[in-house]
Structure 1
Amino acid sequence: MHRPRIRFGERHVHLPRSRALRLLVGGLFVAGGLLGFLPILGFWMVPLGLLILSVDVPVVRRWRRRAAVWWARRRRARQGLRP
């Protein structure tokens, strides 16, 4: 079985093989991000946690895919407007 990974542009980040561990890590990132007003923790943790959860949670996977399609269409439209 291949090891799950997520992609940031050109980079690939490997995730734990255990589904339970991925859910725990993703949930902790989201929970930590909701406490982003505290030092060390930050709101940047929410999207990262959702990205990790998207490997195993179909609803979050759909949100990620919709955001990726929206972003690609937006970039394509902007590139078409530039000379």
Structure 2
Amino acid sequence: MSKDRTRLERLFLRLEAKFPRFGRAIWVIRQPWAILIRIPLGALLILGGILSFLPVLGIWMLPLGLLLLAVDLPFLRHPLNAVVVQSERRYRRWRRARRKIA
């Protein structure tokens, strides 16, 4: 298993732990036989993220769709992992700075 795939698996495990209600659904979608669900769902989520200016849709759909597609498309894994790691670092830094202020 490649380093990028392992990192992506850890990301999905963290998502399952953080959102226990959706943990089972995330686990099912990650299974190899769910490719027929994962690809169209990922594409629809990306489209919904692009159309986030509409009332029901949101920008949150874009990263979720990319995550689902990265399971099957190896060329997406490395850039997506890099963005997730960078975002987590910035978020931690921002929270530390907020704690110092308060």
- In 2, Cα distance between the equivalents of 1:53 and 1:47? 10
Listed as ranges, the gaps of 5+ residues in structure 2 are 1-8, 97-102
Deviations 1:18-65 (A, max 9, x none): 213211000000001100000111111000101111111112111122
Amino acid in the other structure paired with 1:10: A
For 1:40, the equivalent position in structure 2 comes to 56
Does residue 20 of structure 1 match 2:27? Answer: no
Aligned length: 76
Amino acid in the other structure paired with 1:49: G
- In 1, Cα distance between the equivalents of 2:46 and 2:88? 25
- The higher relative CO (CA closer than 8 Å, separation ≥ 6) is in 2
Instruction: Give the number of the structure whose residues are more often helix, by fraction.
Output: 2
For 1:55, the equivalent position in structure 2 comes to 71
1:10 offset after TM fit, Å?
2.9
Listed as ranges, the gaps of 5+ residues in structure 1 are none
C-alpha RMSD of the superposition:
2.7
For 2:4, the equivalent position in structure 1 comes to none
Amino acid in the other structure paired with 2:42: G
Identity score, percent: 38
TM-score when scaled to structure 2? 0.57
